[in-house]
Amino acid sequence: MGQEHHARLPRTRARFRGATGAALFALLLLALAAVPARAGSDGFRSDGIRSDGIRSDGFRKEAARAVRAHERARERVERLRDSDASRTEVKDAERRRKAVRAGLWDLLWASGRNSGDPVAVDPSGQDSRCLFGDRSRPPERRARPWTAPTRRYWLSAGYAAKGSRWAHRHTGQDFAVDSGTPVYAVGSGTVRATTCGDGFGNQVVIRHRDGYFTQYAHLSRIDVRKGGRVTAGQRIGLSGATGNVTGPHLHFEVRITPYVGSAVPPLPWLRRKAVQVAGAPALP
């Protein structure tokens, strides 16, 4: 597994030297926003968090632009690899993609710390005394490299759906299941966070080998621990209705970073891993 990016702003800015294009320019503006928080005359702090702890619309839009820039950069890397481009060309494109991710990571980390996101302030869940079950073991039968996050479900709220339950658009895919249904890691990786105490309730965040993170929220129980390695199909907890919910279900997200604000459409991401989710809507 590659080392997590924990560089603060000076290192991130250094990565931007020589970068071109509107996407990286936008990320530079994002990085400049991630400075120590203080209240301003307009009621917003310098990191885009309002004095009452809510992110500004402008902050969300900047983060969304960074997410789109990262996905365009990823697609470019994949196209170059598919076309047998030179190693230098691929490496340059990959370097630009990582620079975009680094800027977004720093911005959302600072925002998460200031807003009290447990993934940023208590990733082990020990301080919050989250509900942990017995540690799970890898499945006896070797699973495929990637799999669906649960079984016997029906798809409810989808990515970017509108509704009265969300201040903005929905950031993941909901799998409607009974409480206590096993929830599985969709692929091998390392557990980045096991937290509770916010709107996501009991949640697990896993970092995968491709650099993306998956989130599993509203669990009734967590069966893995921060820092542990998991394999595809390994049970990581049980579904439930913890946090801000109206009934039991699994909220599943795919993120560029571990933090809120970096989600990408989860079903297309799973399809790229050859995982066909039953009843999935058409590609956006």
Residue 42 is predicted with a pLDDT of 28
Nearest-angstrom CA–CA distance, 65 and 259? 16
- Determine the residue type at 15: R
Q: Phi and psi for 75 in degrees, rounded to 5?
A: -60, -35
Average model confidence (pLDDT) for the chain?
81
The whole-number pLDDT of residue 165 equals: 55
CA-CA distance, 262 to 273, in Å (whole number)?
19
- Residue with the larger pLDDT of the pair 5 and 92: 92
**Cα gap 143→28, rounded to integer Å:** 41
CA atoms within 13 A on the CB side of 85: 14
What is the spatial distance between Cα 10 and Cα 173, in angstroms, rounded to a whole number? Answer: 35
Asked if 204 and 219 count as a contact pair (C-beta separation under 8 A), the reply is yes
Per-residue pLDDT reduced to its tens digit, 179-212: 999 999 999 999 999 999 899 999 999 999 999 9
pTM of the model: 0.80
Q: Which of 199, 182, 192, 180 is nearest to 243 (CA)?
A: 199
Residue 102's pLDDT band (boundaries 50, 70, 90)? very high
Query: What pLDDT is recorded for position 3?
Result: 38
Q: How many other CB atoms sit within 10 Å of the CB of residue 1?
A: 11
CA dihedral 201, 204, 205, 208 (to 10 degrees): -160
Distance CA 5, CA 102 (A): 7
Q: What is the pLDDT of residues 126-152, one digit of tens each?
A: 888 899 999 999 988 776 899 999 999
